[in-house]
Amino acid sequence: MRRKTVYLLGFACLTAIGLVGCKRQDVVSTANSQAEVIAVANYDVLNNILAKRIRELLGVADANSTTQVLVTNGGAAIGSVYRTGGRWIPYNDSSCTFPDPQRAALPSAFPSYQISRTLALSMGLDNELIQALSKFDIKLSDASSFSFSVEKPIMQVVSDTALTDGIEKPTCKAALMAANGDLYIVRGYISGKRTFRTSVDATRLVEAGIKKIASFDINAGGGKTLLEISDSEPSAFLQILELEKYAAPTPVTYPPVTPVADATLPVGDTTHSTDLPSIVYIQQNSADAKSVGNAAQSLLSARGIRVASDVESLEKTPSTSQVRYFRDADRNAAEQVASQLSSRFRNIEPVRSKVPGAKAGQLEVWLSKQP
């Protein structure tokens, strides 16, 4: 068994709580560093910039080292176990338990990032909020730009000793070995208040006295120049994963068999649009009837879209239904899936995400709890 740590946006070197492979690097808060703004073109570029910055803070060599940094959607409890490929839902969420980790503040972990509206949606804004703002004549188009930052980030991560002890517990060890393959264990989270700032006339918002919309605090100042949108409460939205490698049994190989042509077999249809996804996985809220997920399956199958046969029921799903895609090239496919489902699931939207091992064309539909 081999292990490597995958930091899904870890922000600092925490030798005090037992992280290994980490050298001390001071981060000094200065007026210049606070004013630093980095322009970012797309999701992958932002991910790479954040990854490089965090690797530098952690003293990790490069992207090909055993430590990786990825932005991802969080939510699962610490100790949850994921497979490294396929849909991003827990393989096991009860067998591996660890003591509640310490919390450590990470001041001045990273600067502000100049991002597009599309990228802002991927980083935490949603169309429902933008639609609510539009009622006050706030126009946020695809051409709008935002400054994105995380205020007062906190890291909570299981120490090396606690991780090793927890993995050696019989229930955890048995669950990992039974998988016969590589697994990720959720080791911790980064939390903080995501903050988005943009230049826009918000006069009507100020006149209406709006200070909060959904889970966001709204600060429009005088209403003429700057609109600030931030999480009302710190959000644990960045995961720290630990990769556990359990080698699968060596498969038995047999001599190749020459295929026999059968003229009665139909020829597969190869004329599908390149915008169609290769596979769509569907997740629904466990409080809803199975018919909810089945309805999504039927709508997509009617369009000729390949859908996984099983629908996963999860206790936690997003407040707004999402079609998650993992490569920029798959955005059109995600938009098609969202459009196909919009007649049944209001406000469903494509959301750019990133998970280890996602395949080209793979999409995940995450259905919110239905009213």
Cα distances (angstroms) measured from residue 178 to each of 32, 209, 250, 290, 368: 52, 57, 15, 29, 32
Domain stops at, among 194, 222, 245: 245
Q: Which two tokens stand for residue 281?
A: 């996985």
Task: Please check whether residues 304 and 359 belong to one and the same domain.
Answer: yes
What string of DSSP letters covers 305-351?
--EEEEEEEES---SS-EEEESSGGGHHHHHHHHHHHTTTSTT-EEE
Cα–Cα distances in angstroms (integers) from residue 94 to residues 52, 66, 78, 172, in the given order: 33, 26, 10, 9
Q: Which helix (H) or strand (E) holds 291?
A: helix 290-301
> Are 19 and 84 members of one domain?
yes
- Strand-pair category, 349-352 with 322-325: parallel
Q: Is residue 178 part of a domain?
A: yes
Domain range for 317: 279-366
Q: If DSSP codes are grouped into helix, strand and coil, which group holds residue 172?
A: helix
Question: Tokens representing 287?
Answer: 């409080």
What CATH number does residue 301 fall under? 3.30.70
- Total domain count, the chain: 2
DSSP element (H, E) containing 47: helix 43-58
Largest CA distance in the chain: 78
153 and 17 co-located in one domain: yes
Q: Does some domain include residue 113?
A: yes
* Torsional sign, CA 201, 204, 205, 207: positive
Instruction: Output the tens digit of pLDDT for each of the chain's 371 residues.
Output: 555 555 454 333 333 334 433 333 332 333 334 456 788 878 888 877 776 766 666 665 565 555 566 666 667 899 999 988 788 888 999 999 999 998 988 877 778 999 988 888 888 888 788 889 999 998 888 788 999 998 888 888 888 899 899 999 999 999 999 988 888 898 888 788 889 999 998 999 999 999 999 889 999 887 778 899 999 998 877 778 888 887 554 454 444 544 433 333 333 333 334 578 899 999 999 999 999 999 999 999 998 999 999 999 998 888 889 999 999 899 999 999 999 999 999 889 998 888 887 889 999 999 999 98
Shared-domain flag, residues 160 and 223: yes
Asked whether residue 251 is domain-assigned, the answer is no
Residues 6+ apart with CB under 8 A from 325: 331, 333, 334, 350, 351, 352, 353, 363
Q: Considering only CA atoms, which of 54, 189, 190 is closest in space to residue 111?
A: 54
Q: Is residue 47 included in any domain, yes or no?
A: yes
Same domain, 140 and 80: yes
**Residue 301 sits in the same domain as residue 213:** no
Task: Tell whether 222 and 321 lie within a shared domain.
Answer: no
Task: Give the burial class of 362: count Cβ atoms within 10 A of its Cβ; 0-12 exposed, 13-18 middle, 19 or more buried.
Answer: buried
For residue 341, being part of any structural domain is answered with yes
Q: Is residue 259 part of a domain?
A: no
